[in-house]
Amino acid sequence: MKKGIQILLAGIKQIGFSLLLIQLFSCTSQSFDQEKPNILFIAIDDMNDWTGFLKGHQQAITPNMDKLAKQGVNFTNAHCIAPACGPSRTALLFGIEPYRSGLYPFYDQMKMDQSLLAKYVSLPQLFKENGYATYGSGKIHHGREWSFRKNGGQREWTENNQAVLDTLPELIYDYQGGFGNGRKMAFCPTKSPLEHHPDYVTAQYAEEVLQRNHTQPFFLAVGFVKPHLPFVCPQKYFDLYPNPIEPPVIKANDLVDIPWAGRSNAKLNDDFNFRKNDNWQKVHRAYLACNSWTDANIGWVIDALKKSTYRNNTIIVLWSDHGYHQGEKRSFRKFSLWEEATRVPFIIIDPRNNYQGDCGEAVSLQDVYPTLAEMAGLQKPNYVGGMNLLPWLKDPAKPKKQPAIITWGRRNFSIRTREWRYNRYFDKTEELYHHASDHQEWNNLADKAEFYKTKKEMATWLPKNEAPLVLQGKALHNIVDADQPSLEKAKEAWSRINSKIKPSLE
């Protein structure tokens, strides 16, 4: 009996020692895994500065993003790479500027020779190849096929949620109340349950991923489609904005001092239609509602992160692919080199450090790739452009010499600094705005002799070499630039539209 007890005790000791070893190994493994930060990558489609934290519209209700802006560094003078979804996302995610890649317009990436893209390493692919588990849902790249569907998305994603999003029924809303062009131009509440909204499903997926027990660092990308057209979302968010909606301040003859190449970017047909029957009120209300809807989805994701064990080691980066005109410059949508189309929400939070504050220096979304690579301790590919923003995370007030460079088609550029915007078009015409005194860009100073030196200094930042336009797979190319369309035809088309607009530009 005594011998049996001794054997039993020895066994218990051995089991206990084994459990201790397992526990120690687990702790060591968890510690090793957490040496690298997790990444929560929040992409938003078509959101301009109509948010609380950017103060673009006094009625904007975005409490969740406002809190994030206070918790990290809010880049208040951040700008897109190109004022359109496709080229902006392509440049950000591959880490290369359009004027270096030749990828200026929209592309159907499935119709491109894959060797054109194989030379680039996308941001989620970089993290995956460096030991990260990568998760994606919603709009990350422009186009689902290349990112999520080709080979099951294995190039970039450990797991993605596209198969679930593909099964969602079409949202129900009264698009007959829109202003033409069918479902896409609707500005109204939806009647569908939350579970049928893609952005809600994406937020729920992110919550579920954050609740998991991860054994390796993760890169979680969540792409919210709203406020992209149609401006539809649940009724609750329309109710936040009783009429009347305060319209943006607009100068009637705003386009009179802008060169033709710049004027061609204005979507005057939309402005003409929306001036009827108080339609702009409906558009503004619907856009603000969609911004609040996206804010709610972001809030659910952030709440899930706060409740998780990863909250102290997860970098959050929030960005929108470009801005959006709401009548300024007589324009609607994006597709211009003016402030409303290029300025974007951009926030970075690193809970491992206490980086906080507003940064008013001009930064570009091109800086996202090198900054995240640096923060995660990853070696970025040699071709990657942009700047590492870590010095401005540490000190948001630090002066910055290099401007943000925005490209819209070949040979159309905007150079944005803290105080100035300089636009140079393919036909060498120019715009110059002093933002410190003219943040609405109403007074083009390009022809003023006293600003010749400023123009010359700004022009030194223009790219010296430009890649030719990549033609294979080219899709939407609604750009008046060095490649398309012909000068004569474009001028004729713009003149026809202009003749219908009242009051006149003059």
pLDDT of residue 247: 96
Of 394, 351, 367, the C-alpha closest to 34 is 351
Strand bridging mode 346-349 / 420-424: unpaired
Sheet holding 133-138, edge to edge: 159-160, 133-138, 218-224, 38-44, 314-320, 346-349, 73-75, 357-359
Choosing from 85, 188, 233, 290, the catalytic residue is 85
Class of domain 36-400: alpha beta
In a 13 Å sphere around the CA of 232, the CA atoms on its Cβ side amount to 25
Please report the pLDDT score of residue 8 as a whole number. Answer: 37
From the centroid of its chain, how far is CA 462? 23
Mean pLDDT of the chain: 90
Q: Which of 170, 118, 82, 115 is nearest to 476 (CA)?
A: 82
Considering 142, 228, 322, 325, which one is annotated as catalytic? 142
* pLDDT tens digits along 193-239: 999 999 999 999 999 999 999 999 999 999 999 999 999 999 999 99
Task: Tell me the longest C-alpha to C-alpha distance in the chain.
Answer: 108
Decide if 85 is catalytic: yes
Contact 223, 140 (CB under 8 A): yes
Band (143; pLDDT cuts 50, 70, 90) = confident
Q: State pLDDT tens for residues 434-450.
A: 999 999 999 999 999 99
Q: Reply yes or no on whether the pLDDT at 410 is more than 80.
A: yes
Q: How many CB atoms lie within 10 A of CB 31?
A: 9
Q: pLDDT category, 497, cuts 50, 70, 90?
A: low
**Residue 504 above 60 pLDDT?**
no
pLDDT at 7: 40
Alpha helices in 428-486 (DSSP H): 452-459
Rounded to whole angstroms, how far apart are CA atoms 126 and 130?
Answer: 6
Among left, alpha and beta (phi > 0; psi -120 to 50; other), residue 180 is left
| pLDDT exceeds cutoff 60 at 20 | no
Alpha carbon 65 to chain centroid, angstroms? 14
The span from the CA of 320 to the CA of 84, in Å, is: 11
Task: Tell me 173's DSSP state.
Answer: B
- Cβ count within 10 A of residue 209: 22
- What's the pLDDT score for residue 30? 39
Least confident of 173-177, 215-219, 394-398: 173-177
Question: Phi and psi of 418, rounded to 5°?
Answer: -65, -35
pLDDT (0 to 100) of residue 426 = 95
Q: CA separation (Å) from 382 to 71, 95, 96, 272, 436?
A: 32, 10, 10, 47, 36
Q: What is the pLDDT of residue 14?
A: 42
Q: 314: part of which helix (H) or strand (E)?
A: strand 314-320
**What's the predicted TM-score (pTM) here?**
0.91
Amino acid 487: pLDDT: 62
* Amino acid at the residue 403: P
SS3 355: coil
- Beta-bridge mates of residue 358: 74
- What value does the mean pLDDT take over residues 379-389? 98
Region 97-120 average pLDDT: 91
Domain boundaries, the chain: 36-400
- pLDDT of 25: 37
Mean pLDDT of 349-371: 97
79 given a catalytic annotation: no
How big, in percent rounded to 5, are the helix, strand and coil portions of the chain? 40, 15, 45
